[in-house]
């Protein structure tokens, strides 16, 4: 062997060792060298539960503010559908039939029911966990795992994610078959196995918005349900006992006229009697501007155009198009996260059948407007090429 060949062989062995393989081809354990394992914190491989306080907070935000719930649901629905492409037509047909008929929520069929809950969980809480249930050598069902039932942690290499039972189960070991869990984390912090919710940062804004809504309800309960002040000013020369009797008669007649008797009654009085509406001199604060300011913060955080949420804010056609482009980029980001879980499910389905074919996942376009814009661009490009050819 020449010196040059010996150098190439030595370089190959060194690169192989750096990549985690031994000289005899046996895979070695790969681990992250930059992580301090002596610190028992978020940077260790101790399992991390999804915070119960944050879980309740985000669920309360969705239940209390309809705009937030509607925005998350819009994003989930706009994710669209997809189709798996294989080199073999037979495998492609079988794979798409499996994805259409697989059991998911409540025994119903379809991968989209599973992905709908999975994506909603990912956006709301920042983390989504699903489990592949096997039975009879085949995939029986796809189950959405409640986050309060599991904890997430790292393996000793600080790279692979492991799923642990929650503390209530009384176990400290991860589940035995980790390959059957699909886990997605949205924008996780460095060294953290759990993701960050898209609702993070909306606590303060939502609290102000709820206070405004609560104040509006209280004010309308007070002012909308009108209260009256009936004042009787007796004459100076009248008998005090007679004045008291007249006041009682006026009160009785007013109560009778305002009672819910099913009909309209008149109130007739004699003397100096004045009737005023309590609180009529005060004005209710205008809530349109502060409510819109809070909603603008929510819309900006969720990256959903206002017109999709029924908010009729004055926007130009160009601005609406730019907002739609921003939403499209957000959906592409979420699709890439979901596609990792999809590939894991399809790979397990293939392994159970002894297959190992390469495949691609083709998503549908977000909306018809994208198709129209692409068609226009292709038309303009063809016209420009034709004009250039004619001039040449």
**Which of left, alpha, beta for 23 (phi over 0: left; psi -120 to 50: alpha)?**
alpha
Tell me the CA end-to-end span of the chain in Å, nearest whole number.
Answer: 59
- Residue-level pLDDT at 94: 92
- Residue-level pLDDT at 212: 87
- Residue-level pLDDT at 164: 87
- Residue-level pLDDT at 40: 36
Among 8-22, 96-110, 268-282, name the most confident range. 96-110
- Residue-level pLDDT at 319: 56
- Residue-level pLDDT at 203: 85
Stretch 259-267: mean pLDDT: 63
* pLDDT band at residue 288 under the 50/70/90 scheme: confident
* 240-244, 278-282, 301-305, 326-330: least confidently modelled range: 278-282
- Residue-level pLDDT at 84: 92
* 17-26, 90-99, 244-253: least confidently modelled range: 17-26
Q: Which of 88, 62, 84, 86 is CA-nearest to residue 75?
A: 62
Instruction: Kindly state the percentage of the chain with pLDDT values over 90.
Output: 18
Between residues 298 and 368, which one has the greater pLDDT?
298
Between residues 28 and 321, which one has the greater pLDDT?
321
Does 39 have pLDDT greater than 50? no
- Residue-level pLDDT at 281: 59
Domain boundaries, the chain: 1-30, 36-215+305-366
Q: How many other CB atoms are there within 10 angstroms of residue 136's CB atom?
A: 6
* pLDDT band at residue 226 under the 50/70/90 scheme: low
Does 18 have pLDDT greater than 50? no
- Residue-level pLDDT at 98: 92
3-state secondary structure the chain: CCHHHHHHHHHHHHHHHHCCECCCCCECCCCCCCCCCCCCCCCCCCCEECCHHHHHHHHHHHHHCHHHHHHHHHHHHHCCCEEEEECCHHHHHHHHHHHHHCECHHHCECHHHHHHHHHHHHHHHCEEEEEEEEECCEEEEEEECCHHHEEEEECCCCCCEEEEECHHHCCCCCCCCHHHEEEEECCCCCCCCCCCCCCCCCHHHHHHHHHHHHHHHHHHHHHCCCCEEEEEECCCCCCHHHHHHHHHHHHHHHHHHHCCCCCCCCCCCCCEEEEEECCCCCCCCCCHHHHHHHHHHHHHHHCCCHHHHCCCCCCCHHHHHHHHHHHHHHHHHHHHHHHHHHHHHHHHHHHHCCCCCCEEEEECCCCHHHHHHHHHHHHHHHHHHHHHHHHC
* 6-10, 223-227, 236-240, 325-329: least confidently modelled range: 6-10
Does 33 have pLDDT greater than 50? no
Does 279 have pLDDT greater than 80? no
Give me the chain's average pLDDT, please.
77
Does 276 have pLDDT greater than 80? no
pLDDT tens-place string over residues 333-382: 899 999 999 999 999 999 998 888 899 999 987 654 555 566 667 778 88
Stretch 240-248: mean pLDDT: 75
- Residue-level pLDDT at 315: 58
- Residue-level pLDDT at 24: 43
pLDDT tens-place string over residues 80-135: 889 999 988 999 999 999 999 888 876 667 899 999 999 999 999 999 999 999 98
């Amino acid at each position: 062997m020449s010196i040059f060949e010996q150098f190439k062989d030595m370089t190959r062995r060194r690169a192989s060792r750096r990549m985690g393989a031994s000289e005899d081809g046996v895979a070695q354990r790969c681990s992250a060298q930059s992580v301090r394992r002596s610190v028992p914190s978020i940077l260790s491989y101790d399992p991390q539960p999804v915070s119960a306080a944050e879980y309740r907070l985000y669920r309360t935000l969705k239940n209390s503010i309809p705009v937030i719930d509607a925005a998350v649901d819009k994003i989930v629905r706009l994710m669209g559908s997809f189709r798996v492409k294989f080199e073999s037509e037979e495998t492609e047909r079988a794979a798409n039939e499996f994805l259409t008929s697989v059991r998911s929520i409540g025994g119903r069929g379809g991968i989209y029911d599973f992905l709908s809950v999975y994506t909603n969980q990912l956006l709301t809480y920042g983390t989504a966990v699903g489990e592949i249930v096997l039975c009879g050598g085949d995939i029986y069902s796809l189950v959405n795992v409640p986050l309060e039932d599991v904890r997430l942690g790292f393996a000793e290499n600080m790279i692979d994610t492991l799923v642990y039972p929650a503390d209530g189960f009384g176990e400290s070991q991860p589940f035995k078959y980790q390959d059957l869990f699909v886990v997605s984390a949205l924008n996780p912090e460095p060294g953290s196995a759990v993701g960050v919710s898209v609702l993070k940062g909306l606590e303060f804004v939502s609290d102000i918005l709820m206070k405004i809504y609560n104040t509006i309800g209280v004010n309308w309960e007070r002012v909308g349900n009108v209260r009256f002040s009936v004042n009787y000013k007796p004459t100076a020369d009248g008998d005090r006992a007679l004045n008291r009797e007249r006041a009682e008669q006026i009160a009785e007649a007013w109560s009778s006229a305002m009672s819910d008797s099913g009909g309209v009654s008149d109130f007739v009085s004699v003397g100096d009697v004045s009737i005023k509406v309590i609180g009529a001199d005060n004005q209710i604060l205008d809530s349109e501007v502060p409510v819109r300011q809070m909603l603008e913060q929510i819309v900006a955080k969720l990256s959903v155009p206002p017109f999709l949420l029924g908010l009729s804010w004055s926007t130009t056609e160009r601005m609406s198009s730019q907002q739609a482009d921003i939403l499209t980029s957000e959906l592409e980001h979420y699709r890439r996260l979901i596609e990792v879980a999809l590939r894991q499910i399809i790979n397990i389905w293939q392994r159970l059948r002894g297959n190992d074919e390469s495949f691609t996942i083709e998503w549908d376009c977000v909306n018809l407007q994208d198709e129209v814009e692409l068609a226009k661009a292709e038309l303009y490009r063809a016209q420009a090429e034709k004009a250039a050819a004619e001039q040449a």
